[in-house]
Structure 1
């Protein structure tokens, strides 16, 4: 059972929900996201089709519940890490560190998030995803705004920062999850944190 499900749906009265989520994640991890059916999830979980639909409404609702539980779990870790920082560079390293550590600690959820992201972002729950992403990046954006005003980082379109800060880490983590690279992303945290900083930092003047 993924800890993210325990945190998202705590208590004995949510046990069935957590069990279905865990079984559904196993199904999605064993096959392509689009190809998995409710029937497969029903067989894996031992739950009735009616119970699955009662809790989640549809396969898409079930997928969204998994995705949001994972996203909220990540966000909780980001929030704790950022509270311990006092500079934008520290905040950026904390962000990259937590991102990588969470993926390594939750490989099945991470694979699911990468595979299902497009479906969730264009489906019926896209507004919910947008709201969560605004919260997700909200705290970091405050650090970035202060740093822009202080002349420490470049003023760039807001939507470009996530790609610049996480893009390289994400590419490597996806390669690791698929087995294309074998060295743990944990060993490269400093490399990716430094690359992220250099991608947005104001270059020192030649005459400085």
Structure 2
């Protein structure tokens, strides 16, 4: 999904046009200069609007940051849905979590770069409670799905608290290396390898 398409989905309609423009240019600033170094003035200059307009829509820099972060999170969740809809088993679900993550990063590299660098700032900022609420909700839905899929064919072999790290940890680490240029091979090339590794880390067929 392109940057503009994602923003259009999250902030639809003609009246939200300026909001989308501010967020699109803010994303470029955060990725170019970094979260700490980016200022409201830099965003204002890039999108040719007023400081007042930015504050009107988002309150402050932290509001811009959070709006972008939550838009990206929402898009990741929407991207994941069809993968999960096609996963009928516990193993398929674990592998769908990995492959959808890798595919989203490959399709949205600018957004992925932003998510990685902005996560700490949002977690420590004024929108941390909303982030905690969102994360808790996503974990709860995932837990219900995984527990419901455990059967006579397969079971989870680790505590639930370890699952996000074991399922997504290796994929995230590789995606970070790819986005920074430390490795050249696209994450898409390792979809099967990384998803199989995740299943071996957390799941065990019944004997």
Q: Does TM, normalized by the shorter one, top 0.5? A: yes
Q: Is residue 38–residue 49 contact of structure 1 (8 Å, CA) maintained in 2?
A: yes
Per the TM alignment, residue 155 of structure 1 is displaced from its structure 2 partner at its CA by 4.8
- Residue of structure 1 in register with 2:69 after alignment: 67
Q: Is residue 90–residue 150 contact of structure 2 (8 Å, CA) maintained in 1?
A: no
Per the TM alignment, residue 156 of structure 1 is displaced from its structure 2 partner at its CA by 3.2
Separation in structure 2 between the aligned mates of residue 179 and residue 37 of structure 1, nearest angstrom: 26
- Residue of structure 1 in register with 2:201 after alignment: 199
Q: Which runs of 5+ in 1 are unaligned?
A: none
Per the TM alignment, residue 169 of structure 1 is displaced from its structure 2 partner at its CA by 0.1
Report the TM-score when normalising by structure 2.
Answer: 0.92
- Residue of structure 2 in register with 1:180 after alignment: 182
Report the TM-score when normalising by structure 1.
Answer: 0.92
Separation in structure 2 between the aligned mates of residue 150 and residue 60 of structure 1, nearest angstrom: 48
Q: Matches of residues 38-57 of structure 1 in structure 2 within 5 Å? A: 38-57=40-59
Is 2:121 the counterpart of 1:111?
Answer: no
Q: Where does structure 1 differ by over 6 angstroms across 4 or more consecutive aligned residues?
A: none
Deviations 1:112-136 (CA, angstroms, capped at 9, x unpaired): 1000101111211112112222333
Separation in structure 1 between the aligned mates of residue 195 and residue 24 of structure 2, nearest angstrom: 32
> 1:82 pairs with 84, 107, 131, which one?
84
How many residue pairs get aligned? The number is 205
Q: Once structures 1 and 2 are overlaid, which stretch shifts more, 1-10 or 130-139? A: 130-139
Per the TM alignment, residue 78 of structure 1 is displaced from its structure 2 partner at its CA by 1.3
Deviations 1:142-184 (CA, angstroms, capped at 9, x unpaired): 2321345647233533221101100000000000000000100
Q: How large is the RMSD of aligned CA atoms in angstroms?
A: 1.7
Q: Secondary structure at the match of 1:172?
A: helix
Q: Matches of residues 69-148 of structure 1 in structure 2 within 5 Å? A: 69-148=71-150
Q: Is residue 157–residue 203 contact of structure 2 (8 Å, CA) maintained in 1?
A: no
- Residue of structure 2 in register with 1:23 after alignment: 25
Q: Is residue 153–residue 205 contact of structure 2 (8 Å, CA) maintained in 1?
A: no
Separation in structure 2 between the aligned mates of residue 31 and residue 182 of structure 1, nearest angstrom: 23
Q: Secondary structure at the match of 2:144?
A: helix
Separation in structure 2 between the aligned mates of residue 31 and residue 150 of structure 1, nearest angstrom: 52
Q: Is residue 123–residue 131 contact of structure 2 (8 Å, CA) maintained in 1?
A: yes
- Residue of structure 1 in register with 2:7 after alignment: 5
